[in-house]
Amino acid sequence: MNDHPTPSAKEVVTTHSVFGAPCWVSLTSRDLPATEAFYSAVLGWRWRSAKLGDRFRIALADGAPVAGIAGVATMWQMAVAWTPYFAVASANDAVARAQERGGTTAVGPISFPPGRAALLADRDGATFGIWEGELITDWDSWRRAAPAFIRLHTRDAFDAAIFYGEVLEWATARPGCCEVHYEGDEVVLRSGGDIVARIESGALEAAPDPTIRPHWQVHFAVDDVTSCARAAEQHGGSVLGKGADDAVLRDPDGAQFTVTSHRER
């Protein structure tokens, strides 16, 4: 996990009361200044320092935290990629459940005050993170504003839902857990009634093209998809695909993400 702003005492929400839901997205980068410049131009983000040190930044949209950026890809020999993090009551227990079900652990759990994090892969190879501890200030409002949305492209949506459901304790009897709904060929995850993630089938496990292998895709809600795509090309990125209401983009470092019209989430 890259970092979290520290909430005031009356606003603290922890993963012990809100668990299983996506709670943050982060990017590993090779060149932090270049990454900041690109996402400022494409998404209009501004930046603040993070408690973890000079290699870390918090991205802000309209003054609210949206994502974390860590310039550690080379130092830690990590892939340049956007990664979603899910809230868990216990990082150790979640890692153990993932490993028992065929997942793998890349990093952690390790301490990142005010919490603990681990980086994992599911049994089809899609990378995701888990976070135990305090969530961002006014997390419930952040969730409903949905500045970031995630979708899993995987081999079998229903098999993936079983894996994540058991690891992240979805659809259990515990108060506050996420609800799982099957809508057509998709699995839809809701937290407090709000859609927070979707899972869809069709990715090819051994495909040479990483864009069609199982992966979590991070979507950012924007006002103007076309302008974002144009800015990405003008600032060293590329457009991998574009529709009327969304565009799949790649930043200059190679990280893939999607911009989606606010009305289409």
Q: What is the pLDDT of residue 262?
A: 72
pLDDT digits (tens, 9 = 90+) for 161-190: 999 999 999 988 787 788 999 988 899 998
pLDDT digits (tens, 9 = 90+) for 128-137: 999 998 776 5
Question: CA 228, 139, 59, 213 torsion: positive or negative?
Answer: negative
Residue 111, beta-bridge partner list? 116
**Residue among 77, 56, 74 at smallest CA distance from 5:** 56
Q: What is the pLDDT of residue 31?
A: 86
Measured distance CA(99)–CA(190) in Å, rounded = 25
Q: In sequence order, which residues have a C-beta less than 8 Å from that of residue 33 and are 6 or more positions away?
A: none
pTM listed for this prediction: 0.87
Measured distance CA(119)–CA(128) in Å, rounded = 6
Q: Which two tokens stand for residue 88?
A: 């868990």
